[in-house]
Structure 1
Amino acid sequence: MFDVFRNNMKVLMALLMLLIIPSFVFFGIEGYTRFRDPSEPVARVAGERITRTEWDAAHRREVERLAASMPGVDRALLESDASRRATLERMVTERVLARAAQDMRLVATDRRLAAELLRDPTIAGLRKADGSLDVQRYQDLLRAQGLTPEAFEAGVRADLARRAVTQAVADSAFVGQAVTELATQAFFERREVALAAFRPADYLARVQVTDDEVKAYYEAHADDFRTPEQAAIEYLVLDLDALAAHLKPSEDELRAYYQQNVADTARAEQRRAAHILLQVAPDAPADQKARVRAQAEQILAEVRRDPARFAELARQHSQDPGSAARGGDLDWFGRGAMVKPFEDAVFALQKGQISDIVESEFGLHIIQLLDVRRPPAEPFEQARPRIEAELRRQLAQRRFAEEAERFGNLVYEQADSLEPAAQALGLTVRRATLERTGPVGADADALLREPAVLRAVFNEEALGQKRNSAAIELGGNRLVSVRVTEHRPAQRRPLDAVAPDVRQRLLQEKARAAALQAARDAQAQWTAQAPAANALRAPVLVSRQETHGVPPAAVRAAMSARLDGDAPAWVLVDLGAEGAAVLRVRRGPARETPDPVRVRNEREELARLWGEGEAQAYLAALRQRYKAEVLVK
């Protein structure tokens, strides 16, 4: 059989060429390369690539972080092109600083890492009563964010190293007294401004628009009068809520969870105690310890003579800054919240009893047990809905990875419809209409604003073939697949439909031009001859900090105007859609000499700003050194 192929090799080659060449003609090379790695480089730093996949993932994390910290923010702003560009620029900067830190051998020490972690109020809030970190709660917090302590701390170390690259430059900035005086004098300068406003609305009645002008404007600005491109889509979402809805914990699981997490926890005894602390270090000299103990014994004797004075003596003698003002009251706590010697002493007391002197790593304590309670357990039937919801979510988290793989396979294998995947997974196919900027409708699903979803919809293959997209991972245990059911390209609206809009736009433009010309004429006239008394508004003092109702553009123009002695300057300001203004600008009163403390603060603030400027210049030099470049427009 192989002899047949050998003897007819030329015929087979010709046949293959006839099959291959037309396919290139009809489909192009792109048809053979569309299955390559979609993670094309979007930026480079020192020859290393930043891929689109990395960019999308970083921006998704940034959007989730900002959305969590600002619940009312419009996600469309977070997912705009400008926001995505800012994320990419930040990634490039981080890569540049990381490379510089590596070359400079900059490493964050354990002590520096610990100090940085405790600056975070969330982590600082996880400390126990003795000041140590609650490791279990710390790990739970990171686990909820999909992080391990090692990965999180490595990220903080890397961030500290990156910040150290420019911090030395910023901290070294120095501004002399003469520069400070010149800068602050210019910054706090005040000027007297009287203005005349020329508004387009005042000139609308003086302008006319012909039909020919409407038609010419329409032809010249055709792209301004188009219906937006739209795609009607079906989409399928797999998330924890969707999984949890189909999972039902058994009765045994519910009761076991109740015993472990509700009943036993509720029955745990809690105690409320007050203490008087006299601080002494464990390694303090013996004579110092003896003096502190003698003082403690004296206080203990007073307390035992009159236990009702415990709170008074605590406020007077206790060196615990957190409880002394409350009469030593430590509020309610259970076992494991305090250091061992303190806890053992408290749980050995009867209500109202006062302890002997208890020594811990913090010093010497005199303790009074104020109260004991054992909170009643919540009945099982009352807690059942909450327990079932929690168990459903836990089961969903365990099964998500398995179901996510199944989701991806189903939408790929049966790519003509999302219904088979929806039926197999117990999900519901949803429908929406999208534009390239996001979904249509204020109540649209927020995930449809995700850039990854919009890219999956608005590409030639999706719009043309109308097949299921691959599973799109959105973070937060969410997957989505989309399919275009109808594509409506952008279309030019006919002139008859938009003629009123065109006419109104032309009227506004002509009225604005008339207002601007009237302002120019007034400026020329008033520069040569003073205006009538009522031509200008009453003058006001403005500065860079206080505008007093003067438009910001006018304030900037007034503060930038060149003044010659006591003569006023006449300044024309284009206010855009608001028209124009003519300003009469005079020098204002000199700034009063500030007190020495304010002078020092201003000098420090100027030095800080100067340092930030030098740090940015240094960063720009580093970007050049490491050949940082952004490859996308």
Structure 2
Amino acid sequence: MLLRVAPGGAANEGRFMLQAFRDHKRWLMFIAMVLIIPSFVVTGIYSYNRMTQADNSIAKVGDVSISPEAFDMAKRQQLEQLRQTMGENFRANMLDNPEAGEAILKGLMDESAVSQTVAKNFVQVSEEQAIMLIKGASALQQDGKFSPELYENFLRSQGKSDQQFVAEVRRDLAKETVLSGVTATYPVPKALVQDYFRILTEERRVRAFIVNATDYVEDIKVTDDEAKAYYDAHQKDFLLPEHVKAEYVVLSPADFKAEAPNPDDLKTYYEQNQSRWMVPEERRASHILIEFGDDKAAALKKAEEILAAVKADPASFADEAKKNSADTGSAAEGGDLSFFGRGLMVKPFEDAVFAAKKGDIVGPVETEFGYHIIYVTDIHEARGKTFDEVKPEIEAEYAEQTAIRQFGEHADEFTNLVYEQSDSLGPVAEKFGLKIETIDNVTRTGVTDPELGRIITEHVAEALFGSECLEEKRNSNAIEVSANTLVAARVVEYKPETVRPFEDVKSRIVDAIKLERASAMAKADGEKKLAEVKASKKLDGFSEPVWVSRQQMQGQPAAFVDLEVSVPTEQLPAFVGMQVEGGAYLIGYVEEAKLKEATDAELAGLAREVASIYGESDRRGYLEALKGVLGSEILNRSVIEGTKTAP
């Protein structure tokens, strides 16, 4: 089943191009930059001594085995994501339970099923779309524009080449195309979408009065005795957790330099893999969509009239698209859909485009969305990239693979050396030319710095607090913190859990007491003011009126906007008040209400968002069906049911 998306009449971004890319662009960026990219760490090209054996597998999907190492890597990845999102609330043992283990393995099996489906059915996303996604990622932009320097730094941090990373993004987007094609088809009742739209867009014309807690702070005095009493009563809030100062070394392929490759070998590799560098045919087309509406015959007649007009005068096509096309996303561009390859459009549309010649105007072509008049404006013929074009890529791959191979050849030596000469990291650092780094404030859960957290993982922290490192002052074992990256560490100094000295936290305590008292004073005065304006109806000191909704909050706190919008229209005008985060007390005068009329385009867009939420059950059913077709089974539950990660 080769999934295709349909050209049609959605608003803004349009339904024509790859829906999973257009309709969920920001969401896909989030996946690419937060979920997909870290996952690349666990799929190294070459694992130094971890060849997967069938009898070591914990599960199988089709003919593909899932190893304990893959499970362990996936668990580490999820822990790292939790560490970054939860901050101080993170605990290294959060996934040490059977339920979490089951979920991790299920995710790996789902991923395997989707990957196999993508491969078997040749689902592809073009290189151009992957590049567009990367360039649009906010993490790689500076001053609103794509930054090659940030991108280069990112690639270096991941140990990836540009070509490899683009290929990986293409693969992940192809997988997402399969899944989004399922969830986007969930039938959402129109009444439900209309209710959601009303809840999000219903407006209130409001004026606000603020009683700021900060206005009271200067007049509040806190004595040393009061601060000390607070300190004594809240000792647990000022605990400095036990921590160590540690030394560590890192071994990775970056520590090995490859020799210049033999030109003949590069040429041979190119010739044996020419299909890899084939650029498929792409066509550029514009279209005008006429929706069926309530009268399909009338729609066909209109489409035929427009077809005759643009055939007579092709230069008028863009103007006709702007005036008549129901696909408002492309209509704004004169109907232009840019370049696309096979497999991205519904079949009737694709067949018409690829059967035409450059400059042909064809139609009306019927799809589920209506009638299309199509103008084929350009063609990029299929071609293979020349050796000179791909030579830098091959050389980069050669250097990368050579470094990884050398790393694999020396990984055991590194592992043995840190164990055999366990009283110092000096010998292993000297042997491999490594720098011994020092880090302080490593707790049992690791470090707070996300970048260092990639090296001093929870597994490294666990080793540092083990008896061999902490009591016997030995090196840790060589620990794999990511694909093809080994870390060895040792404790330099240990500091037990202590309560921070009063003088170190006194200023924090004073500020906390002041804010607590100021908040209480602001609330008291705010409630008094609310009662006064309810009685007098005077609006002295209130802001100018603005229209707010749950979608357009105009800088007001979400909870306060919700309170304002929740006032029944029959009770307007009305005063409302509440204390918000930070201690301020807000009073709102809600003057009138207004309902926004929804356009078809807005309802269609919201329907897709709701479908993606409610379609989760369809997604799960689809994944289970894929695994059923391929055949899947769990072979060893001991790994996922235990309280420790896989060896």
TM-score after normalising by structure 1: 0.54
Partner of 1:175: 189
2:506 is aligned with 1:504: no
What is the deviation of 1:473? 0.7
**Structure 2 CA distance, aligned partners of 1:490 and 1:172?**
53
Q: 2:607 aligns with which of 604, 607, 628?
A: 604
Other-structure match for 2:580: 575
242 and 82 in structure 1: CA distance in 2 versus 1, 3 angstrom threshold: same
Counterpart of 1:186?
199
The alpha-carbon deviation at position 109 of structure 1 amounts to 8.8
1:534 to 531, 535, 540: 540
Q: Give the RMSD, CA atoms, in angstroms.
A: 5.8
Q: Is the Cα contact below 8 Å between 1:198 and 1:518 reproduced in 2?
A: yes
Distance in structure 1 (CA, Å) of the matches to 2:593 and 2:524: 29
**Contact 2:455–2:487 (CA under 8 A) maintained in structure 1:** no
Output the amino acid matched with 2:590. V
Checking the alignment, whether the CA contact within 8 Å between 1:171 and 1:611 is kept in structure 2 is: no
Q: CA deviation at 1:228?
A: 4.9
8 Å Cα contact 2:204-2:547 kept in structure 1: yes
Question: Is the partner of 1:397 in helix, strand or coil?
Answer: helix
Q: 1:192 to 1:224 in 2, by over 3 A?
A: same
| Residue number in structure 2 paired with 1:58 | 74
Q: Distance in 2 between matches of 1:98 and 1:183?
A: 34
- Partner residue, 1:241: 254
What is the CA–CA distance in structure 1 between the aligned matches of 2:78 and 2:192, rounded to whole Å? 39
| 1:465 aligned counterpart, secondary structure | coil
Tell me by how many angstroms 1:420 deviates.
2.5
> Cα gap change, 1:452/1:520 in structure 2, threshold over 3 Å: closer, same or farther?
same
CA–CA separation in structure 2 for the residues paired with 1:332 and 1:514 = 74
Superposition pairs for residues 123-272 of structure 1, below 5 Å? 167=182, 171-176=185-190, 178-244=191-257, 249=259, 254=260, 257-258=262-263, 261=266
Q: Paired residue for 2:594?
A: 589
1:470–1:481 CA contact under 8 A, matched in 2:
yes
Q: Residue 514 in 1 paired to residue 525 in 2?
A: no
Based on CA coordinates, which of the two structures has the bigger radius of gyration?
1
Are 2:556 and 1:550 equivalent residues in the alignment?
Answer: yes
SS where residue 588 of structure 1 aligns? strand
- What are the superposed Cα offsets for residues 212-257 of structure 1, whole Å, 9 maximum, x if unpaired? 321210011223334454311111221122233xx7x4xxxx5x72
Output one character per residue of 1:239-286: Cα deviation in whole Å (capped at 9) or x when no partner. Answer: 122233xx7x4xxxx5x7246549999xxxxxxxxx9x9xxxxxxxxx
Contact kept? 2:125, 2:174, Cα under 8 Å: no
Q: 1:515 to 1:53 in 2, by over 3 A?
A: farther
Contact 2:460–2:479 (CA<8 Å) still a contact in 1? yes
1:490-519, Cα deviation, whole Å (9 max, x unpaired):
322332443333222211221122112222
- Cα distance in 2 for residues equivalent to 1:629 and 1:321: 63
Q: CA deviation at 1:446?
A: 6.1
The amino acid that maps onto 1:605 is: R
Gapped runs of 5+ residues in structure 1? Answer: 1-43, 45-49, 67-73, 126-139, 266-274, 278-316, 337-373
User: Comparing both chains, which one has the higher relative contact order based on Cα–Cα distances under 8 Å and sequence gaps of 6 or more?
Assistant: 2
Tell whether the 8 Å contact from 2:468 to 2:476 is kept in structure 1 after alignment.
no
Q: Is the deviation greater in 198-207 or in 219-228?
A: 219-228
How many Å apart are 1:610 and its aligned residue?
A: 6.1
Judged with a 3 Å threshold, the aligned counterparts in structure 2 of structure 1 residues 56 and 583 are, in CA distance, closer, same or farther, namely farther
How far, CA to CA, are the matches of 1:109 and 1:441 in structure 2? 37
**Larger displacement relative to structure 2 (211-220 or 415-424):** 415-424
The 5-angstrom pairing of residues 159-558 of structure 1 reads 167=182, 171-176=185-190, 178-244=191-257, 249=259, 254=260, 257-258=262-263, 261=266, 319=357, 395-436=402-443, 439=447, 447-459=454-466, 461-527=468-534, 529-558=535-564
CA displacement 1:86-112 (0-9 Å, x = unmatched): 99988744655888999xxx9999688
SS at match of 1:173: coil
Equivalent runs, 1:2-41 vs 2, <5 Å: none
Q: How far apart in 1 are the matches of 2:68 and 2:381?
A: 54
CA distance in 2, matches of 1:395, 1:98: 29
| Alignment map for 1:61-72 (pairs within 5 Å) | none
Is the contact made by 1:118 and 1:124 (CA closer than 8 Å) also made in structure 2? Answer: no
Q: Match of 1:198, as an amino acid?
A: V
CA change 1:482–1:143 in 2 (3 A) is farther
Q: Which amino acid aligns with 2:251?
A: L
Counting aligned pairs with the same residue, the percent is 23
Matched pairs, number: 439
CA–CA separation in structure 1 for the residues paired with 2:447 and 2:508: 25
The CA deviation at 1:482 is 0.5
Deviation at 1:588, TM superposition (A): 1.6
Seen in structure 2, the aligned counterparts of structure 1 residues 92 and 524 have a Cα distance that, compared at 3 Å, is farther
Taking the aligned partners of 1:441 and 1:112, their CA distance within structure 2 comes to: 38
Residue segments in structure 2 that go unaligned for 5+ positions in a row: 1-58, 60-65, 133-159, 271-280, 284-354, 361-375, 626-633
SS across alignment from 1:186 = helix
